[in-house]
């Protein structure tokens, strides 16, 4: 019998610990498919964050490092500089990448460090039980913004792609979402491109995946995906924010 659909080889058989309705499973799968498609599992080294994806090291079949909170781009830099022949990626949430680890993120991008960063933005701290994230929307109710995020008190959300694309350094900055089939397919393509760029030594490639957190948003999975469409995407527009190689090609034409 012909196999028409199966788990990517780059994923282990471990059962994911994520909550029902959590898109981390989809995003793991997209990363694993990219690794499979490019045939790079044997030379890929992943770096897991602190946050919901902290145990990602059990889910990917490639060699894995568990980094300190926010430091994945620094540790990935250490690995990549030692083993340039390997493909090195980080998988980080919004608190990890855009709050405690912002310095590491910005400087890895500024160095055009030849790594791939998968940035999952679900506008909340999931693992610790739903606190305000650097990407929580104005007015968003969380455990630590129980009256809604007051921007006069605690500032505005950080738009990571917009900010990083102002830097000379990075090669590729894109924002995708996984709230419907069409967006999932586009997300898969962007993630694979971010790996392909590294293989071609083009440099720092970051894909922000706008995701959902039904548990901590206090919504059904269905409602959460609707909220992504209605509230998240207007604030975090999808698209390619920077693609140096494409820009160069366009210029050449």
Partner 1 sequence: MAERVLMKGNEAIAEAAIRAGCRHYFGYPITPQTEIAAYMAKKMPKIGGVFLQAESEIASINMVYGAAAAGMRVMTSSSSPGISLKSEGLSYIAGSDVPAFIVNVQRGGPGLGGIQPSQSDYFQATKGGGHGDYHMIVLAPASVQEMASLTVKGFHLADKYRMTAMILADGTIGQMMEPISFEDAEVETYEKPWALTGTGMKRPHNIVNSLYLKPDELERTNFARYEKYKAVEENEALWEEYQMEDAEICVVAFGIASRVAKNAVADARKEGLKVGLIRPITLWPFPVAALRRAADQVKAFVSVELNMGQMIEDIRLATECRRPVSLCNRTGGMIPSPQQVLEAIREAQKGVN
Q: Which residues bind partner 1 (CB under 8 A)?
A: 12, 41-45, 47, 54-55, 57-58, 60-68, 71, 74-83, 85-86, 103-104, 106-107
Measured from the CB of residue 235, what is the shortest distance to partner 1 in angstroms?
A: 28
Closer of 30 and 47 to partner 1 (Cβ): 47
Residues 79-83: contacts with CB under 8 Å, at least 24 apart: 79/45, 79/47, 80/113, 80/114, 80/115, 83/45
Count of H-run helices and E-run strands, the chain: 11, 9
Measured from the CB of residue 13, what is the shortest distance to partner 1 in angstroms?
A: 12
Closer of 75 and 92 to partner 1 (Cβ): 75
Closer of 65 and 238 to partner 1 (Cβ): 65
Measured from the CB of residue 158, what is the shortest distance to partner 1 in angstroms?
A: 17
Q: Would you say the C-alpha torsion 6, 85, 64, 239 has a positive or negative sign?
A: negative
What are φ and ψ of residue 9, in 5° steps? Answer: -65, -30
Closer of 57 and 236 to partner 1 (Cβ): 57
- For 2, 18, 59, 126, 127, the CA distances from 55, given in Å and listed in that order, are 33, 10, 7, 13, 11
Measured from the CB of residue 130, what is the shortest distance to partner 1 in angstroms?
A: 19
Closer of 23 and 73 to partner 1 (Cβ): 73
Q: Whole-angstrom Cα distance, residue 253 to residue 245? A: 13
Closest CA to 60 of 116, 105, 112, 110: 116
Measured from the CB of residue 139, what is the shortest distance to partner 1 in angstroms?
A: 33
């Amino acid at each position: 019998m012909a196999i028409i659909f199966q788990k990517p080889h780059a994923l282990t058989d471990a059962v994911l610990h994520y909550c029902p309705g959590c898109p981390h499973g989809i995003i793991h799968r997209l990363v694993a498919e990219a690794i499979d498609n490019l045939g790079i599992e044997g030379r890929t080294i992943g770096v897991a964050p602190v946050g919901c994806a902290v145990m990602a090291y059990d889910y990917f079949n490639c060699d894995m490092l568990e980094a300190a909170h926010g430091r994945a781009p620094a540790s990935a830099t250490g690995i990549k500089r030692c083993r340039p022949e390997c493909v090195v990626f980080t998988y980080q949430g919004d608190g990890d990448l855009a709050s405690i680890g912002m310095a590491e993120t910005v400087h890895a991008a500024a160095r055009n460090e030849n790594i791939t960063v998968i940035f999952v933005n679900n506008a909340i701290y999931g693992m610790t039980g739903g606190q305000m994230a650097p990407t929580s929307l104005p007015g968003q109710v969380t455990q630590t913004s129980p009256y809604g995020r007051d921007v006069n008190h605690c500032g505005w959300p950080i738009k990571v792609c917009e900010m990083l694309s102002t830097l000379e350094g990075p090669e590729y900055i894109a924002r995708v979402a996984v709230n419907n089939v069409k967006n999932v397919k586009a997300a898969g393509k962007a993630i694979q491109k971010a790996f392909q760029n590294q293989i071609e030594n083009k440099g720092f490639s970051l894909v922000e995946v706008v995701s959902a957190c039904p548990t901590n948003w206090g919504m059904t999975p269905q409602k959460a995906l609707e909220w992504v469409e209605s509230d998240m995407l207007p604030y975090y527009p999808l698209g390619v924010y920077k693609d140096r190689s494409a820009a160069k090609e366009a210029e050449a034409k």
